[in-house]
Amino acid sequence: MFQRVLIANRGEIAVRIARTLRRIGVRSIAVYSDADAGARHVLEADTAVRIGPAAARESYLSIPRIIEAAVSSGAEAVHPGYGFLAENVDFARACADAGLVFVGPPVGAIDAMGDKIRAKQTVMAAGVPVVPGRTEPGMTDADLVSAAAEIGFPVLLKPSAGGGGKGMRLVTQKSDLAAAIESARREALGSFGDDTLLIERFVQRPRHIEIQVLADNHGTVIHLGERECSLQRRHQKIIEEAPSPLLTADMRSRMGASAVDAARAVGYTGAGTVECIVSADRPDEFFFMEMNTRLQVEHPVTELVTGLDLVEWQLRVASGERLPMSSVELTGHAVEARVYAEDPSRDFLPTGGTVLDVVEPDGVRVDSGLRVGSVVGSDYDPMLAKVIAWAPTRSEALGRLSAALADTAVLGVGTNVAYLRDLLADPDVVAGRLDTQLVSRRAAFTQSTPDHVFVAAAMDELLAMQPSGPVVDPWDVPSGWRIGGSAGFSVRLDSGDRQVTVRVVDGFVSVGSSAPLPAVASVSGSELRLTYDGRTYRYRRAKSGSVLWLASDGFTWSVAEHSLLEESSVSGAEGGPITSPMPGTVLVVKASVGDRVAAGTPLLVVEAMKMEHTIAAPVDGVLTELHVQAGQQVALNQALALVIPEEQT
């Protein structure tokens, strides 16, 4: 076994790898960018090496800097985690050239499976079924259009050089194809440095099921069962589970054997995943999609049902050890939920901010890279943590995960935790009727701030104003008392889609025009307790400036205080400033000042956390102002442009 291993990654996966290294007695070496100088993975490693600025291309994607860090720190091996350089064949070669062991498959396997076109051709030769489509290298836009006509809509555009849903586009009609090709090529080039695309038939009501394989350097290749990953948004997984509620023992055996054949076809070693599409309408039919030549984000569910530590076995295989098992038994059921920095009520747009407090549940597994003070920006992937529950049965596992998410909170950064609980309670999810379009078919998620949260925020403010000390001057008590009676305490609060005035008078609270109701509150450390209208609520609380963050039962709210003289902001359809819906980078500017635009015309494309968002004209009119250019960083709600209706010009 190695003595020192460098982890060429960040965030929760770097923390998770360091945990295994510590357990088996191997020294861990972290790398970090300037943005991650105080990150959790840096603090938990035995050694940490700076590798560059915040931009990933100058730090976590810089092969020379990571190799230099590994050599200078005395590492014998490099674990790439997932994302960044995990499936980069040049990085694997650079490790070998520097005398370092790459904890992953051989260069030839990465090369063969890293290009989706070559991968499909390779597994087809091994007898593995693939999705019908066109996979010729170097297809032009015209070739893709022609192929779509042959295959028939809907079709799926996919980058040949990468995975993770980046650059993938579902196209349902011919009129949308040209724009989808342009967008897919741009995102593929930005993510993988290669804009080559392939095109496939889109399987109706598809289920995404993947097989975990493990192989050593001595000819043993086994599978560790499957994971169901059908709950996705924008081709990014949200909730995964093992085993799949769909597969029979016979189907599991067939898919497992096919995955082993695919791995053998490229001389695979280490841990890898063969991803397949299974039609919900024809569960006896499956197609190979791709092979991920690395550890998967969702690997913990496999670990919990097999009892194996996949990171440990990656290290043991890389150091030359043999696999002692020829098969594994699956026990119980495990479900994982990914906690993202995103706003589900705004179409899952990325969020950001500084972490003021973190609450993690007991009794389940939590893989997290968060700590108080962590800054969540637009430089890296929005996934913050994973919460994973195991139980003897699927229904129990779902229940345990939901309960654990109710006890999970990140204050200071908006997350999807409340949405995850809502999704777990969906009747189709509970029944196991899953497919990759289920999330998009569901009604839009809304999270309007309830009255009790505004009451809690007002009472928190009132309590903070209370004088303390052995002697209290009654004139310092913020009762609002004056000759003729108590005027009470009033505050204007803004949260989500609501802005209200809360008034507290003699222990009674009114929210907006609602009738006054009795309320009592107390604060103890980071906990706020409120009894309001006969119900008692408990919140985790943290404050930053004029914004109070409250978390309870899986929900998190940010409540901002405003001057009572301010009027509610009104947004109409009469045009006006166009602001950025998320912090990020302007990728493309599609219009110029003076252009006449129709409502819905794309004006800019903003990218954050590996996700593109097209910003369109709100009304028919003239683009009179443009404040940004391609490559420019923008903040949340920053003014980007101004469209004035035609009649006002």
**pLDDT of 564:** 63
What is the per-residue pLDDT across 307-330, written as a single tens digit (0 to 9) for each? 999 999 999 999 999 999 999 999
Pair (457, 554) in one structural domain: yes
Domain span at residue 583 reads 576-648
**Count of CB atoms situated within 10 Å of the CB of 254:** 14
**pLDDT of 486:** 56
> Considering the domain boundaries, does residue 125 fall inside one?
no
Q: What is the mean pLDDT of the chain?
A: 91
Q: With 50 as the cut, is the pLDDT of residue 483 above it?
A: no
Pair (536, 584) in one structural domain: no
Pair (73, 152) in one structural domain: no
Radius of gyration of the chain (CA): 27
> Considering the domain boundaries, does residue 80 fall inside one?
yes
> Considering the domain boundaries, does residue 273 fall inside one?
no
Over residues 221-233, the mean pLDDT reads 97
Pair (498, 557) in one structural domain: yes
Q: With 50 as the cut, is the pLDDT of residue 149 above it?
A: yes
DSSP output for 390-446: EESSHHHHHHHHHHHHHT-EEETS--SHHHHHHHHT-HHHHHT---TTHHHHSPPP-
Give me the CATH number covering residue 557.
3.30.700.30
Lookup: tokens for 62? 């810089």
Q: With 70 as the cut, is the pLDDT of residue 573 above it?
A: no
Over residues 200-225, the mean pLDDT reads 94
**pLDDT of 612:** 79
Pair (14, 95) in one structural domain: yes
Split into its structural domains, the chain has a count of 4
426-429: long-range contacts, CB 8 A cutoff, minimum separation 24: 429/231, 429/239, 429/398
Q: What is the DSSP letter of 203?
A: P
Give me the CATH number covering residue 585.
2.40.50.100
Pair (458, 557) in one structural domain: yes
Pair (520, 459) in one structural domain: yes
Pair (70, 16) in one structural domain: yes
Over residues 448-471, the mean pLDDT reads 87
Pair (554, 609) in one structural domain: no
Pair (506, 581) in one structural domain: no
**pLDDT of 435:** 94
Over residues 31-55, the mean pLDDT reads 96
**Count of CB atoms situated within 10 Å of the CB of 508:** 13
> Considering the domain boundaries, does residue 197 fall inside one?
yes
What is the per-residue pLDDT across 15-42, written as a single tens digit (0 to 9) for each? 999 999 999 999 999 999 999 999 999 9
Of 169, 201, 233, the one marking the end of a domain is 201
Over residues 274-282, the mean pLDDT reads 88
Give me the CATH number covering residue 19.
3.40.50.20
**pLDDT of 468:** 60
Pair (539, 626) in one structural domain: no
| E strand or H helix at 343 | strand 342-343
**Count of CB atoms situated within 10 Å of the CB of 395:** 12
Nearest alpha carbon to residue 401 among 485, 483, 334, 472: 334
pLDDT-derived band at 460 (thresholds 50, 70, 90) equals very high
φ, ψ at 142 (rounded to 5°): -65, -40
